[in-house]
Structure 1
Amino acid sequence: MTEFKTAPPSGPRRRMVMTAGAAAIAALMGLTACGGDTGAAQTPAPENSIAVGEYPDYYPADYKDLVTAAEKEGGELTIYSNTDQENWDPILRDFKKKYPFVTKISANNLDSDEVFQKALSEKATNASSADVFVSNAAGAWADFAARKGMLADYTSPELAKLPKFASLLPGVVAMSADPQTIAFNTTLLEEKPESLEGLAAQIKAKPADFTNMIGVRDTTGAFGFTMFYNLTEAKPKSWDSIATILSASRPETSSGTLSEKVLAGEYKAGVLVTAAPAFPVVKNSNGLFDIALPTDGTVVIPRGLGISADAPHPATAKLFQDFVISQEGQQAVLEGGLSSYREGVKSVQFALTYQDVVSKVGEDNVIMAPYESVPADKVKAFTDRWQSLLK
């Protein structure tokens, strides 16, 4: 692999690296637009088989009454989410197959906290328009769900068939269980970073080569805080690796930004990057960009889904929740690049199931982020320690 032995780029050199990276990204975008791809991914996977009008025998006998009620709601559904359209496409496609009377679904892509801010603002003015909320901001979900009158009281018949972690809060279920990864530029690192400890070791070996060359998810945001707080709570020794990593890092606000800068060569690696938005970059990078699950602690953050108490289309929203966590729905979740968690889902290229994560790093090294608020004193203690380690 190529190694840059000189000091990290700055001034004109840095601009040259970023310009080259931008050109690489533009070229890759062009390949994507023209249908270019890597490996076997050039052949699209066949669409999922959906059983229209058929339901598992564990569904209630009167479930078709719910379907009838949904048919009378006009075939519309509005989702407030922090999920990319690329992730939604197979899910919405297959839900419409399951229920052909649903013809119009709006699913926006807000920031993880903005989903709840928008809902609360509309509630205050009696102008609620959302049917379903989707976000992976664990702490924000806990605060939101505790408020009266925000979430519908609905228990899906699918819940009993799911792992315990899928029931996140009263009225909130896991749509997916998304792992956080180390993203890296394959030409800039001497070896694949299989763990946080391994990445830290590379930095220690040649610290001058890594100054400001690691991107790290900013913990001032709710999602970044959730990642690293739960990692350090479950694996206190990870602070040793984090201290070394932060000494070479700059914080970034999103997995998308981290992925772009790693691909462009502005960073050698990004910590921690959500697998779902990283996989399209892996897919289209011609081997320049890759991700790894840290074997010394992989944080998995469920993507919560709940139904609005003021849903304009409540029956349709219930059908949607049931579908997303069903076997059919979880297959679509995986096809969209999010991590499904039901047993028996067929593998999809450039996507990971929860079972894949467990198989790779071991169950003891999977850290499932709980949906709960963190006391203010613990937030301060973590934040103070984190900030003291940034150079």
Structure 2
Amino acid sequence: MVQDTSMASRRQLLLGGSGALAGAMAGCLGGTDDDGNGGNGGNGGETGHGDNGGNGGTGESGDTGGGTDETYDVGYGDYETTVSAADFPDELRVYAVQTGWSNWDAVMEAFEDEYGVALYDAQGSSGEALQDARSHAQNPTHSAFNGGYSFNLEAMNDGLTTDYKPANWDKVPDELKTDDGHVTATRQMTTAVAYRTDVYEERGLDAPETWEDLKHPDIAQDLAVTPPHTANGLASALSINNAYGGDLDDLDPVIEFHEEIADHGADIRRNIEGDVTSGEISTIVEYDYSGLNMKYNVDEIGEDQLDVAILTGPDGEAGAMTVPYGYALLEGAPNPEVCKLFMDYVLSLDGQEKFFDAFVRPIRANELDQPAEFPEQSAYDAAEFALDQEELVEKQEEIQTELTDRTPLPGAQ
């Protein structure tokens, strides 16, 4: 098992402090959306194919990354091949690989250190990325699509992706990858609520346990949710909807919930980390990752000032949607060789562990030690649920449009 890192080391691993994390709360299904030390380049021409980094390298110099004489083994099964650093660009573009989200900062830096290729800081949500990929379908500007799993499936259904099974593809659960190798999940998050414990104490409020608790006027007055066109915003809405008996064909429960909290001042916001750390917002509906990362990795707020809760419905209904994120190689995209190497790296244990450094659950979490700072597993067991991703894809656009049109919360557009 890979050992858990200390909290101090997590703070050091995440780059840029609060500035780099400014977009973390926005989310990446349609908000802003990884991790480890890449494979070794080999010594004296030796060739390896290991788990960490997903690759081994060959070369006369024994140096790693950026050397034109370096080659790397990539891929899984029929997709195993060798790529050459001579074909690598100075910069690789992958949608929604960006600072301030899922610890991509550390992944980007580690990959560049290992292989000499920088990652473009591709700020933007999964929804925005999908629209851009569609608009550039005839002349792709990015090598891969990264974001909410359902958005990846949409890209696949639009004919934008191509098949590639990265190293360790066999370690990904069957339900979180497509058999044809077009889409592979890399991590997942769960809808949660982050709240200012000091503000709650000042107001005499108990920690929230159910979604019903958020209707309290002293909570709803400065409560925020993220936009429904983002992955986390959509997940938040569907979590509430499920908690009150709704489904993908009936959004009335979440609209009614929005109406009640809107009456007390709740709204929809993006990029609100600063609003939380300053105390302007006392409660935010987002992912467990966002709250935990802010609690333990952001210097502007003390660990004792923020906590994270996984909520059920008022009568114990499941109210915390689990959302997978993943990637897909784009059809006809530039620089596919180094992109395959990057995809391998993200799915390696070194890469996967970097997700945990920022409290994002990697898809290979069962092979790693989960940080103790996560909420109790019993809370997840009581509240978590998952949707069929194919069904969600079929209805996602219609759901987002309906939520945007019907919600009374300001800031949805």
In the superposition, the TM-score normalised over structure 2's length comes to 0.66
Greater shift after overlay, 301-310 or 59-68? 59-68
SS in 2 for 1:115: helix
Match of 1:373 among 366, 373, 393: 393
Aligned to 1:294: 311
Matched residues, percent identical? 18
Is 1:319–2:331 an aligned residue pair?
no
Quick one: which amino acid aligns to residue 278 of structure 2? A
Q: In the alignment, does 2:233 pair up with 1:216?
A: no
SS at match of 2:280: coil
Q: What SS does the aligned partner of 2:342 have? A: helix
Q: Aligned partners of 2:229, 2:11: CA distance in 1, in Å? A: 41
Match of 2:169 among 144, 159, 164: 159
Task: Decide whether the 8 Å contact of 2:224 with 2:281 is kept in 1.
Answer: yes
**What corresponds to 1:273 in structure 2?**
286
- Deviation, structure 1 residue 146: 0.7
Q: CA offset at residue 330 of structure 1?
A: 0.7
1:387 equivalent in structure 2: 407
8 A Cα contact 2:352 2:362, kept in partner: yes
2:381 and 2:122 map into 1 onto residues whose CA distance is 34
* Contact 1:133-1:308 within 8 A present in 2 as well: yes
* Structure 2 Cα separation of the partners of residues 380 and 95 of structure 1: 35
What is aligned with 1:28? none
Equivalent in 60, 72, 80 of residue 95 of structure 2: 80
**Amino acid in the other structure paired with 2:123:** N
2-side partners of 1:376 and 1:331: how far apart?
Answer: 31
Contact 1:67 1:315 in 2 (8 A): no
Secondary structure of the residue aligned to 1:311 is coil
Q: CA deviation at 1:40?
A: 4.8
Amino acid at match of 1:134: N
Structure 1 contact 94–332 (Cα < 8 Å) conserved: no
**Residues 388 and 132 of structure 1, relative CA distance in 2, 3 Å threshold:** closer
Cα distance in structure 2, aligned partners of 1:102 and 1:67: 20
Deviations 1:248-295 (A, max 9, x none): 3433232x31x433333333312x212334344323311323322224
Distance verdict in 2 for CA 1:242–1:118, change over 3 Å: closer
Q: Distance in 1 between matches of 2:153 and 2:341?
A: 24
3-state DSSP class of the match of 1:155? coil
CA RMSD of aligned residues (A): 4.0
Q: Which moved more, 1:324-333 or 1:169-178?
A: 169-178
Pairing of 1:238-253 with structure 2 (within 5 A):
244-253=260-269
The reply on whether 1:178 has 2:189 as its aligned counterpart is yes
The equivalent residue for 2:357 is 335
> Cα distance, 1:378 vs. partner?
6.6
AA partner of residue 267 (structure 2): P
Q: Secondary structure at the match of 1:156?
A: coil
Instruction: Give deviations 1:172-202, integer Å, cap 9, x for gaps.
Output: 21221022221212122222223323434xx
Q: Tell me by how many angstroms 1:56 deviates.
A: 4.6
Measured against aligned partners, the alpha-carbon deviations of 1:207-250 in whole angstroms (never above 9, x if no partner) come to 3x456322222336565234322552476177586664454343
1:131 and 2:143 are equivalent in the alignment: yes
Q: Alpha-carbon deviation of 1:45?
A: 6.5
Q: 1:104 aligns with which of 118, 123, 135?
A: 118
Q: Contact between 1:80 and 1:108, CA under 8 Å: does it hold in 2?
A: yes
Report the alpha carbon displacement of residue 347 of structure 1 after superposing the two structures with TM: 3.9
> Which residue does 1:55 correspond to in 2?
49
**Structure 2: distance between partners of 1:214 and 1:294:** 15
Q: Residue 142 of structure 1 aligns with which residue?
A: 153
Judge conservation of contact 1:90–1:333 (CA < 8 Å) in 2: no
Change (3 A) 1:319 1:268: same
User: In the comparison of the two structures, how many residue pairs are matched?
Assistant: 332
- TM-score normalised to structure 1 length: 0.69
Q: Is the 8 A contact 1:175 1:325 kept in 2?
A: yes
**Distance in 1 between the 2:259 and 2:136 partners?**
42
**Structure 1 contact 78–129 (Cα < 8 Å) conserved:** yes
Q: How far, CA to CA, are the matches of 2:134 and 2:401 in structure 1? A: 29
Distance 2:229 2:352 in 1: 32
Match of 1:22? none
Q: 2: distance between equivalents of 1:262 and 1:158?
A: 38
> 2:133 and 2:123 mapped to 1: Cα distance?
14
Partner of 1:309: 331
Counterpart code for 1:228: A
SS in 2 for 1:64: strand
Choose the corresponding residue for 1:92, options 88, 108, 113.
108
Whole-angstrom distance in 1 between the partners of 2:326 and 2:403 = 25
